[in-house]
Amino acid sequence: MKSNLYERKAQIFKALSNPVRLEIIDFLADGEKCVCEIVENLNYEQPHISKSLIKLKEAGLIKDRKEGLNVYYSLKICCMGDFFNCLNKILESEPKL
């Protein structure tokens, strides 16, 4: 396996290594959302959300679709759900958080 493949994977995990971005991913698991919906539902400033979305998109984890003034984001990687479910199970049974 090539070194740049590790770099690429590291980029994906780096995009996921932030609580705000994880919360966004979780929210998008419900289906496509526009930025305004994300801003309304999660409690962060709009520029913060916007920057987070861009980082997730650069990593290839989400994709966007423009429609008029709105930009809709949705998940792009299918296997994320399984991994997150597994992590959740492990974390729920963790002795101390």
Partner DNA sequence: TTATAATATTCCATTTTTGGAATATTGTCA
Partner DNA sequence: TGACAATATTCCAAAAATGGAATATTATAA
Q: For binding to DNA (CB under 7 A), which residues are involved?
A: 14, 17-20, 34-36, 39, 44-48, 50-51, 53-55, 64, 66, 68-71
Considering the complex, what minimum distance in angstroms separates the CB of residue 13 from its own copies? 4
Considering the complex, what minimum distance in angstroms separates the CB of residue 38 from its own copies? 15
Considering the complex, what minimum distance in angstroms separates the CB of residue 68 from its own copies? 29
Q: Kindly indicate which of the ranges 8-16, 33-41, 46-54, 66-74 contains the residues binding its own copies, using the contact rule CB under 8 A.
A: 8-16
Q: Per residue, what are the HEC states of the chain?
A: CCHHHHHHHHHHHHHCCCHHHHHHHHHHCCCCEEHHHHHHHCCCCHHHHHHHHHHHHHCCCEEEEEECCEEEEEECCCCHHHHHHHHHHHHHCCCCC
